């Protein structure tokens, strides 16, 4: 997983700080409105090495999804969507990370959801580094991507009278990361 351009990435192993990070998804409802959700429980690590290689991996608890509507959350946890009873965790592992410029990256990886592992492409933007009030070195990244939920067997839907779908197959991902240096 080589970084292919000069970057300002700080080397080291970084652990995601849940208190200052977020994992969000959004999908179109009725073809006109956006419904957003978050995963409340997640973890991750990013490793930027001196030799120019990098890797990232993380996981979320599918049970921790929250859209702000209890009935919708229960449906999303059911077999028609995340099937959290059989597949309580989603996981991501990078396979390649390419620098596009000094602070933008393309991340190829594998996402495992509902027992299926599929390739995904993510885009990351380095937002900066800072030392917090406790002396911890931090790095911040914004990671975005898009996937088709049908690729992971989430096919529940209805066609409306207008011809639009009740729920879009396209799901947008936004992951805001504040990570603390471990080594």
pLDDT of residue 3: 45
Give dist(CA 36, CA 27) in Å, integer: 7
Residue 132 dihedral angles phi and psi, to the nearest 5°: -80, 180
Structural domain boundaries in the chain: 12-181
SS3 label, residue 102? coil
Give dist(CA 33, CA 5) in Å, integer: 39
pLDDT by residue, tens only, the chain of 183 residues: 444 444 567 889 999 999 999 999 999 999 889 999 999 999 999 998 888 789 999 999 999 999 999 999 999 999 999 999 999 999 999 999 998 988 899 999 999 999 999 999 999 999 999 999 999 999 999 999 999 999 999 999 888 889 888 899 999 999 999 999 997
Q: Sort residue 122 into left (φ over 0), alpha (ψ -120 to 50) or beta.
A: beta
For the CA atoms of the chain, what is the radius of gyration?
17
Question: Is-contact 168 154, C-beta < 8 A?
Answer: no
pLDDT of residue 7: 53
pTM of the model: 0.89
Protein fold of 12-181: Lipocalin (2.40.128)
């Amino acid at each position: 997983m080589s970084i292919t351009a000069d970057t300002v990435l700080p080397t080291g192993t970084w652990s995601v700080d849940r208190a200052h990070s977020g994992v969000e998804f959004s999908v179109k409802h009725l073809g006109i409105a956006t419904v957003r959700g978050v995963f409340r429980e997640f973890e991750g690590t990013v490793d930027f090495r001196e030799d120019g290689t990098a890797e990232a991996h993380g996981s979320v608890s599918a049970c921790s999804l929250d859209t702000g509507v209890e009935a919708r959350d229960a449906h999303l946890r059911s077999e028609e969507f995340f099937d959290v009873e059989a597949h309580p965790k989603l996981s991501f592992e990078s396979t390649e990370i390419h620098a596009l410029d000094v602070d933008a990256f393309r991340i190829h990886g594998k996402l495992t959801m509902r027992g299926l592992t599929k390739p995904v492409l993510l885009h990351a933007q380095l937002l900066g580094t800072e030392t917090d009030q406790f002396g911890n070195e931090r790095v911040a990244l914004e990671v975005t991507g898009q996937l088709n939920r049908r690729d992971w067997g989430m096919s529940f839907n209805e066609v409306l009278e207008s011809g639009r779908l009740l729920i879009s197959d396209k799901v947008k991902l936004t992951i805001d990361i504040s990570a603390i240096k471990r080594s």
